């Protein structure tokens, strides 16, 4: 009887239903390591969700890396050196990417790259259709192009370029698999982006679906996109009507929609695997770079700001941001770093006098004014150079030593001003227009002033006659900022929107003409903006560049949507 009872209990325990334990989503992170440092930026995932591709920097420089989810280590993809903005072919065997103004393709396992098309402007987004058509968008100028995957001359897609309109660009281009439908986001300057859908690329009646960026469709019947607060959301989606059919659900948050990134770092596979970047801010570092783009880490562990070589090239001066802001000078030969200011009163934006004996800089946390200080340490108290309403920051000292150029917001915008150094006149506005002007730098012969302005709707580099404006020339063609003259005065460097340093060869007579423009190298992580965060050595062959060491942390979620 006891044996029968025990057998009955065992049978009941074996046959009784077991409560189902809710399964949590499987997620993991791909981190930077000693072999490669992940660049925060666009990334891609294969249609079957097995392979993630992103940009990273290894021992041989920046290239695209491949990480299969069943492998422990990422591998560089041969033939993708300098590439960014990856996207997969529909069968997952080919990888498209952008590099140096060209769209290219390469086998995912690596091989000889083939050029698909060349283009002007900054690459934004691309998508590869099952018909082997590739659509890609650019900014500055705003265009959408179509080209066959086998290559050829890209044709402007008039319908989609018209949909983009003026002052906006299309990002997150995404062909919906198995259909002719296209999803994208329109990102206007200064406004919130909107998700749109088209039944076909020839249909001009775009349907607004949601407010957000980087729309993607997965075959579970969901739309995935990013909201303006950096959240990834999923929403039931009807392909027939190209519209949502239920409320949105937040899956993840914390994405940084950096202004330097024209496309959002999010990708999904057809199967619903989600991958995205989370930035890890590590601070700033100074990098020495030659004209071929070879990098040498120089200084680290400070929040560097506006590095400037001394006129003789033997010293490097820089400010710092965050915490106690002071100005420092580093001796290149001796390797020592000494402090120039000691009060921490937001001392920054330093520029050298032509003889290297003095510096001009901005000071005061609330309303910055301009000061001059000896570099010999005889007098630790700076002399006041200018005090006026608004914020002022120095950008250059004239070669004859008579004037300091600065940017001011005293009139409500950003204008370029000039102030005499040793008396003899009042400060005057050199360029004061409704546009935003800044980064003024005087040519070595003192006859020209280079600067950037957004008067055309985007920042470009211009040159004006100096000391009196009037003769003006546009130097950049597809966007530019932070111009600096080379030591010969016939070369002008600036950064384009793709974080490439451009060298413009100029012919200078009574007027200026651009003989040619050469892209020297691409520098992911350049932190330019209102100030030029780099400088040219007096030998003309070396550059010091501030790199924001924001590294990407790639998150991979295998079944986030299903959960």
Q: How confident is the model at residue 430 (pLDDT cuts 50, 70, 90)?
A: very high
pLDDT at residue number 449: 95
| Sequence-distant (≥ 6) Cβ neighbours of residue 18 within 8 angstroms | none
> Residue 167: pLDDT above 70?
no
Would you say 119 and 139 are in contact if contact means Cβ atoms under 8 Å apart? no
Q: How confident is the model at residue 436 (pLDDT cuts 50, 70, 90)?
A: confident
pLDDT digits (tens, 9 = 90+) for 397-424: 999 999 999 998 877 678 999 999 987 6
Lowest-pLDDT range of 182-196, 316-330, 456-470: 182-196
The Cα 429–Cα 407 span in angstroms is 9
In 3D space, the residue among 471, 473, 469 whose CA is nearest the CA of residue 461 turns out to be 473
- What are the φ/ψ torsions at residue 12 (nearest 5 degrees)? -65, -45
Q: How confident is the model at residue 100 (pLDDT cuts 50, 70, 90)?
A: confident
pLDDT at residue number 178: 85
pLDDT at residue number 260: 47
pLDDT digits (tens, 9 = 90+) for 350-390: 999 999 999 999 887 557 888 899 887 645 678 888 888 87
pLDDT at residue number 20: 60
Query: Average pLDDT in the 497-510 region?
Result: 86
Could you count the other beta carbons within 10 Å of the beta carbon of residue 246?
A: 12
pLDDT digits (tens, 9 = 90+) for 1-18: 777 767 666 666 656 665
pLDDT at residue number 259: 44
Proportion of the chain above pLDDT 90, given as a percent: 44
Displacement of CA 272 from its chain's centroid (Å): 28
* Percentages (nearest 5) of helix, strand, coil residues in the chain: 5, 50, 45
pLDDT digits (tens, 9 = 90+) for 101-151: 899 999 998 889 999 999 877 789 999 999 999 999 987 677 899 999 999
Q: 45 vs 56, which has greater pLDDT?
A: 45
Would you say 275 and 43 are in contact if contact means Cβ atoms under 8 Å apart? yes
pLDDT at residue number 512: 85
């Amino acid at each position: 009887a006891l044996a029968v009872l025990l057998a009955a209990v065992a049978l009941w325990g074996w046959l009784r239903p077991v409560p189902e334990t809710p399964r949590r989503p499987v997620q993991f992170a791909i981190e930077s390591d000693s072999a490669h440092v992940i660049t925060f930026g666009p990334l891609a995932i294969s249609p079957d969700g097995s392979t993630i591709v992103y940009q990273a920097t290894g021992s041989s420089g920046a290239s695209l890396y491949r990480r299969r989810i069943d492998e422990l280590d990422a591998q560089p993809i041969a033939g993708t050196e300098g590439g960014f903005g990856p996207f997969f072919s529909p069968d997952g065997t080919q990888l498209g990417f952008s590099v140096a103004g060209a769209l290219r393709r390469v086998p995912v396992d690596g091989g000889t790259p083939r050029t698909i098309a060349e283009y002007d402007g900054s690459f934004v987004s691309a998508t590869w259709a099952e018909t082997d058509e590739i659509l890609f968008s650019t900014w500055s100028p705003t265009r959408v192009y179509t080209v066959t995957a086998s290559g050829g001359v890209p044709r402007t897609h008039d319908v989609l370029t018209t949909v983009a309109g003026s002052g906006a660009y299309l990002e997150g281009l995404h062909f919906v698999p198995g259909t002719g439908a296209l999803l994208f986001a329109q990102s206007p300057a200064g406004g919130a982006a909107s998700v749109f859908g088209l039944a076909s690329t020839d249909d001009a009646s775009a349907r607004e679906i949601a407010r957000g960026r980087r729309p993607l469709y997965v075959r579970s019947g969901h739309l995935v996109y990013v909201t303006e607060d950096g959240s990834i959301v999923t929403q039931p989606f009807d392909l027939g009507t190209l519209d949502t059919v239920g409320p949105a659900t937040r899956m993840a948050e914390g994405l940084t929609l950096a202004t330097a990134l024209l496309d959002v770092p999010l990708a999904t596979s057809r199967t619903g695997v989600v991958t995205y970047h989370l930035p890890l801010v590590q601070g700033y570092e100074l990098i020495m770079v030659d004209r071929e783009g070879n990098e040498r880490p120089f200084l680290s562990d400070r929040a560097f700001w506006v590095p400037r070589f001394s006129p003789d090239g033997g010293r490097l001066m820089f400010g710092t941001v965050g915490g106690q802001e002071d100005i420092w000078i580093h001796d290149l030969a001796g390797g020592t770093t000494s402090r120039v200011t000691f009060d921490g009163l937001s001392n920054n934006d330093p520029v050298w006098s032509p003889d290297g004996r003095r510096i001009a800089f901005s000071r005061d946390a609330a309303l910055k004014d301009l000061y001059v200080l000896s570099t010999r340490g005889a007098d630790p108290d700076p002399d006041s150079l200018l005090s006026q309403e608004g914020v002022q920051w120095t950008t250059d000292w004239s070669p004859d030593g008579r004037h300091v150029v600065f940017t001011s917001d005293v009139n409500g915008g950003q204008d370029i001003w000039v102030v005499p150094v040793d008396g003899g006149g009042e400060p005057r506005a050199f360029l004061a227009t409704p546009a935003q002007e800044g980064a003024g730098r005087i040519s070595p012969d003192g006859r020209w002033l280079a600067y950037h302005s957004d008067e055309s709707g985007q920042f470009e580099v211009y040159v004006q006659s100096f000391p009196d404006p009037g003769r003006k020339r546009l130097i950049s063609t597809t966007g530019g900022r932070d111009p600096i003259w080379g030591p010969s005065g016939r070369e002008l460097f600036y950064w384009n929107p793709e974080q490439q340093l451009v060298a413009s060869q100029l012919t200078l007579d009574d007027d200026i003409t651009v003989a040619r423009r050469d892209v020297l190298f691409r520098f992911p992580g350049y932190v330019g903006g209102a100030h030029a965060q780099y400088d040219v050595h007096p030998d003309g062959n070396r550059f010091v560049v501030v790199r924001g060491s924001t590294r990407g942390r790639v998150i991979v979620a295998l079944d986030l949507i299903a959960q």
